[in-house]
């Protein structure tokens, strides 16, 4: 009977060690576009971006993460270092709503129930889906298709986070999104089969965009049970 009790307690404590520790907070920063229109800088925020973030910390080394971010992607050929783009003079602004989910890995243990300040670099990846406006350039004039599409992508994020208090975590991160579309900047119309002559640029390269900013999250949940028999 004693051994049966020990087995039951060990099982319960093992399950509790993967406690339900959550984070809820906000993202604030900037965005920039990388494609066939505008500057060719990889990290050059030119529009505000904001959203929300939720995490489930499965262990001190990894978390499941979900975020929603709003921004207006903006690009202007006049900001480019390429004289051909400057001469062309295209520009656009498109409202983006992105939902992203995946796994965040920390370089070091990030035990929220330990004593003292905790800090670590981290990586995040998964899958993203972003809603964007559809348009094309007709003799240099931005022409709306009066529709929108969803662009799937892969987020690649590098960040650094630290605890401010027992429940508040501050993080700074840079995240690029590689998308599986070339439609965001209008270089390939959504209905390219109907208006094929309006495509331009490098059709072998898809669009990218980046988010650079900070997150501030509040943590809550049960403290893990560590048993020693």
pLDDT at 192 over 90: no
Looking at the domain assignment, is residue 228 inside a domain?
Answer: no
Looking at the domain assignment, is residue 229 inside a domain?
Answer: no
Looking at the domain assignment, is residue 140 inside a domain?
Answer: yes
For residue 224, name the pLDDT band (cuts at 50, 70, 90). very low
| Residues of the chain above pLDDT 90, percent | 65
Domain that holds residue 185: 2-221
User: Domain total for the chain?
Assistant: 1
Which pLDDT tens digit goes with each residue over 199-217? 888 888 899 999 999 999 9
Q: Kindly report the backbone phi and psi dihedral angles of residue 222, in degrees, each rounded to the nearest multiple of 5, phi listed first.
A: -75, 145
For position 110, which CATH number holds?
Answer: 2.40.160.20
CA triplet 13, 15, 19: central angle to 5 degrees?
A: 100
Instruction: Read off the pTM.
Output: 0.84
SS3 label, residue 15: helix
Looking at the domain assignment, is residue 26 inside a domain?
Answer: yes
- The residue ranking higher by pLDDT, 65 or 138, is 65
For β-strands 47-59 and 21-34, DSSP reports them as antiparallel
For residue 23, name the pLDDT band (cuts at 50, 70, 90). very high
Nearest to 47 by CA among 18, 17, 73, 16: 73
């Amino acid at each position: 009977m004693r051994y049966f009790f020990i087995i039951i307690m060990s099982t319960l404590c093992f399950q509790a060690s993967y406690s339900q520790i959550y984070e809820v907070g906000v993202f604030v920063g900037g965005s920039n576009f990388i494609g066939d229109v505008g500057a060719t800088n990889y990290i050059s925020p030119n529009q505000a971006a904001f959203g929300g973030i939720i995490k489930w910390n499965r262990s001190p080394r990894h978390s499941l993460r979900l975020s929603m971010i709003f921004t207006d992607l903006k690009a202007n050929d006049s900001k480019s270092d390429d004289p051909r783009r400057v001469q062309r003079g295209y520009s656009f602004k498109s409202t983006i709503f992105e939902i992203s989910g995946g796994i965040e890995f920390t370089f070091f243990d990030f035990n929220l129930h330990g004593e003292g300040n905790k800090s670590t670099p981290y990586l995040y990846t998964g899958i993203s889906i972003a809603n964007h406006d559809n348009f094309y350039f007709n003799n240099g004039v931005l022409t709306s298709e009066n529709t929108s599409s969803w662009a799937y992508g892969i987020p690649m994020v590098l960040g650094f986070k630290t605890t401010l208090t027992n429940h508040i975590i501050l993080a700074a991160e840079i995240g690029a999104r590689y998308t599986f579309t070339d439609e965001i900047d209008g270089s390939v119309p959504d209905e390219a089969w109907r208006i094929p002559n309006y495509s331009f640029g490098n059709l072998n390269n898809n669009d990218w965009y980046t988010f650079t900013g900070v997150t501030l999250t509040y943590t809550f949940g049960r403290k893990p049970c560590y048993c020693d028999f």
